[in-house]
Amino acid sequence: MTGETVAEYDAVLCVGDTTFLDYDKIVAKREGYGPIGKGGNGLILHSALAIEPGNGQSMGLLWQKLWNREPKQKPPKDETLAQKKKRQAASRKAARKRPFEQKESYRWVEALTTVENEVSKSTRVIHVFDREGDITEVFHKVRQLQHTGVLVRAAHNRSLDSDSERLWSKLEAQPIRFEQEIELPSTSKRSARKAKLAVRFCPVNLRTPYRFDDRNPILVYAVYATEIDCPDGETPIEWMLLTTEVVADIHTASMILRWYSYRWRVEEYHKIFKSGCQVERYRLAAVRGAAARLPWV
């Protein structure tokens, strides 16, 4: 069990990511799953992979969730433009009223609470999320948990608690504290390279939206890294990282950057799952309902 392995450590990383399992090519499954991505048909898989924080070694899965979306109803053939707009507006309104626990984004909070309950209380777990995990509910939940921290790449230029100052302008005004090189793996959008980053960091208070009863500002630490001398034809790296870990010095800020670079481990895991294990050729009967567990876990 991965939980028993991580119990030997004072702290571990738990890297989360979501991927699509596309079964559109298997005719028997076209009626049993749901829409994914750009016109595909299949399941959605979220994995929480334990990572050793010192060297980035993968230790195993701490949690995994599998679910399908319900197929959308086809609009009436004779629907007018006005009727379409009215139907779409009603759909958006209904989506906003759904409890957070019924939304797909709940998976980020569900990972926090599930792993906290399953891992030894002597081990602190720091969850590492990409921009999809940048939701206030994540930070709000972390301050209710005793043995959990989070490191998230910011997706939103959030308002801070001082004169409506914004996150990006706050960090851009900070002096460059150090430079650091990191290895970037190749992806479909870039080639592998060594990137040099200019790094700024400081504490920030995130404003809490009105939908929360506890409106106290959320104290986190921001580490802002921008690439220097990016090669021609490549998109420069820009990471705005928010963490509940205290970043008081250059050493800790450098560690936060290194931890975030381990996020690629879970992408590699999903890639191996699909190409090596051929999971998208899995031919058991389709799974109906809101959620399901992988039969091979």
Q: Is the pLDDT of residue 282 over 80?
A: no
For residues 10 and 152, give the distance between their C-alpha atoms in angstroms, rounded to a whole number: 21
Q: Given pLDDT bands bounded at 50, 70 and 90, which one contains residue 295? A: very low
DSSP secondary structure letters along 37-61: TTTEEEEEEEEEEEE-TTT--EEEE
What pLDDT is attached to residue 48?
Answer: 96
| pTM score of the predicted model | 0.87
pLDDT tens for residues 127-139? 999 999 999 999 9
By DSSP bridging, strand 124-129 and strand 11-22 are parallel
What pLDDT is attached to residue 179?
Answer: 96
Q: Is the pLDDT of residue 207 over 60?
A: yes
Q: Is the pLDDT of residue 28 over 80?
A: no
Mean pLDDT of 201-227: 93
CB 47 within 8 A of CB 30: no
Mean pLDDT of 53-69: 93
What pLDDT is attached to residue 293?
Answer: 45
Stronger pLDDT, 176 or 26, i.e. the higher one = 176
Nearest to 1 by CA among 52, 66, 60, 64: 60
Q: How far is CA 242 from CA 134, 239, 261, in A?
A: 9, 10, 14
The structure tokens 């800790």 sit at 252
At residue 242, what are phi and psi to the nearest 5 degrees? Answer: -115, 130
- Domains of the chain plus CATH, in order, are 1-74+102-130+263-297 (3.90.350.10), 134-261 (3.90.350.10)
Least confident of 22-36, 40-54, 223-237, 241-255: 22-36
- Average pLDDT over the chain reads 87
Give the pair of three-digit tokens for residue 256: 């936060």
Percent with pLDDT over 90 in the chain: 57
* CB proximity list for 147: less than 8 A, separation 6 or greater: 116, 119, 121, 123, 124, 125
Nearest to 259 by CA among 114, 125, 155, 151: 151
What pLDDT is attached to residue 77?
Answer: 77
Stronger pLDDT, 91 or 34, i.e. the higher one = 34
Nearest to 198 by CA among 219, 159, 172, 216: 172
Nearest to 211 by CA among 288, 276, 137: 137
H-type alpha helices, the chain = 2-6, 81-97, 106-118, 136-142, 167-172, 250-261, 264-275
Mean pLDDT of 103-119: 94
pLDDT tens for residues 70-104? 777 777 778 788 877 877 787 777 777 788 888 99
Stronger pLDDT, 140 or 93, i.e. the higher one = 140
